[in-house]
Amino acid sequence: MPTFTFDDTVRVREDAPVELRPGVLASVVMVFTEEERIGDYFKTFPPGTVYSIEFEDGTSVEIHESLVEKGAFRVYSPSAGNAASR
């Protein structure tokens, strides 16, 4: 069972390759479990779940589950005078 699902907020791990944008938040837009990984493209990933994630600027990448972690967007809350997670 995948750790994340559609529309979850994730952060690319700091140890990810630079082209995957380490430390940046993104939203999960597709989930490819081991059983759903069909085709040569997915053979480039290690076994496990692959996520398609979209960054705030609209770009997206496919990334292995080992390179993402739970993330939260921070929004400014004027009434609280600070940032609040959503």
Q: Domain-by-domain residue ranges, the chain? A: 9-85
Give the range among 56-60, 61-65, 69-73, 74-78 with minimum mean pLDDT. 74-78
pLDDT > 70: percent of the chain: 84
Residue 21: other Cβ atoms inside 10 A: 18
- pLDDT tens for residues 9-31? 999 999 999 999 999 999 999 99
- pLDDT tens for residues 41-67? 999 999 999 999 999 999 999 999 999
Asked whether 30 and 60 are in contact (CB, 8 A), the reply is no
Q: Which amino acid would we find at residue 47? A: P
Asked whether 67 and 57 are in contact (CB, 8 A), the reply is no
Q: Is 17 helix (H, G, I), strand (E, B) or coil?
A: coil
Enter the pTM of the model.
0.82
The mean of the pLDDT values for the chain is: 88
